[in-house]
């Protein structure tokens, strides 16, 4: 039987590679455009760090499980060099990235799309599930995040000019405290997080989102979502519309919200009843 590395070594650019059923202990490094599709149950465990590293090309991962890998960053999946990656119906669980972070996924550039993926029980120094840096752009659709844990941002950590957009996703944590989402910009660039039609359950009494206080405030947009709370700490530029359950409240006086004239007001309190509904206009 061909090993996965043999299959990939023989693959041509743009080819669809069917991965054999089973648990495979190997680190896959992809430098060209390929589609990796699971035949039945396929689990990948990194033997040299991340389970999958994408350093170039347009890559599709479909039906894979990335599990129990350990790396400095992105133990399940590591994306760099402007690569474009699409994950469909994948599961990433029980990975650990104690260095920089991103227990499940790290990206510092390129474009990453996740569709119908499950990201659970991952651990990272920053971003238990996701750590995004530089110019990374990530889109999530109909994904579930649960049980992820980090020192900063149990679900997500954004840095520099990284951006994430999520629609129809569920974000939960079982940790007793700490924000689900955290971000840190620079003096010239700010990260951005957009959540639409999501379910978000954070620890009681903790901020849902934490922004840096020494840089441009990150942008947080939350639309038509159900939230346990949307408390913020640090500096955050917030736009919240059509949400339920305390849509925009503050835990300190350092949060910022755009005013009608485009300026930033500090220490404002806006609850769900005060936030205009989005009627599709």
Closest C-alpha among 148, 106, 114, 111 to residue 130: 106
Token pair 């944590």: residue? 173
Distance, CA of 27 to CA of 153 (rounded, Å): 26
pLDDT digits (tens, 9 = 90+) for 50-90: 999 999 999 999 999 999 999 999 999 999 999 999 999 99
Q: Is the pLDDT of residue 187 over 70?
A: yes
Q: What is the pLDDT of residue 258?
A: 40
Instruction: Pick from 36-40, 263-267, 276-280 the range whose average pLDDT is largest.
Output: 36-40
The kind and range of the H/E element at 160 are: none
Spacing of C-alpha 157 from chain mean position: 7
pLDDT digits (tens, 9 = 90+) for 167-183: 999 999 878 888 999 99
Burial bucket for residue 204 (CB in 10 Å: 0-12, 13-18, 19+): exposed
State the Rg of the chain over Cα: 19
Q: 206: pLDDT confidence band, cut at 50, 70 and 90?
A: confident
Q: What is the residue-averaged pLDDT of the chain?
A: 87
Distance, CA of 249 to CA of 247 (rounded, Å): 7
Pairwise pLDDT comparison (235 vs 138), residue with the higher score: 138
**CATH numbers and ranges of domains, the chain:** 20-274 (2.160.20.10)
Beta bridge partners, 255, equal none
Q: What is the pLDDT of residue 229?
A: 80
Beta bridge partners, 65, equal 43, 91
pLDDT digits (tens, 9 = 90+) for 4-41: 988 999 999 999 999 999 999 999 999 999 999 998 89
Q: 244: pLDDT confidence band, cut at 50, 70 and 90?
A: confident
């Amino acid at each position: 039987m061909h090993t996965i590395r043999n299959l990939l070594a023989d693959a041509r650019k743009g080819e669809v590679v069917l991965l054999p059923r089973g648990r495979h202990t190997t680190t896959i490094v992809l430098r060209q455009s390929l589609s990796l599709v699971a035949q039945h149950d396929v689990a990948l465990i990194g033997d040299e760090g991340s389970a999958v590293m994408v350093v170039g090309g347009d890559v599709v991962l479909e039906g894979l499980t990335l599990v129990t890998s350990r790396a400095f960053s992105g133990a399940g999946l590591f994306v760099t060099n402007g690569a474009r990656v699409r994950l469909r119906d994948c599961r990433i669980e029980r990975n650990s990235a104690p260095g920089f972070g991103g227990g499940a996924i790290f990206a510092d550039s390129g474009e990453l799309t996740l569709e119908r993926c499950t990201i659970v029980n991952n651990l990272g120094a920053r971003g238990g599930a996701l750590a995004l840096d530089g110019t990374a752009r990530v889109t999530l659709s109909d994904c579930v995040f649960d049980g992820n844990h980090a020192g900063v941002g149990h679900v997500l950590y954004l840095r520099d000019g990284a951006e994430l957009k999520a629609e129809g996703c569920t974000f939960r944590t079982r940790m007793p405290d700490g924000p689900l989402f955290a971000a840190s910009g620079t003096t010239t660039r700010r990260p951005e997080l957009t959540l639409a039609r999501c379910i978000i359950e954070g620890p009681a009494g903790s901020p849902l989102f934490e922004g840096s206080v020494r840089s441009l405030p990150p942008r947080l947009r939350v639309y038509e979502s159900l939230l346990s709370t949307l408390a913020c700490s640090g500096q955050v530029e917030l736009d919240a519309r059509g949400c339920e359950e305390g849509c925009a409240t503050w835990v300190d006086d350092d949060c910022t919200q755009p005013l009608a004239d485009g300026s930033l007001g500090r220490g404002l309190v806006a609850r769900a009843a005060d936030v205009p509904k989005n009627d599709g206009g």
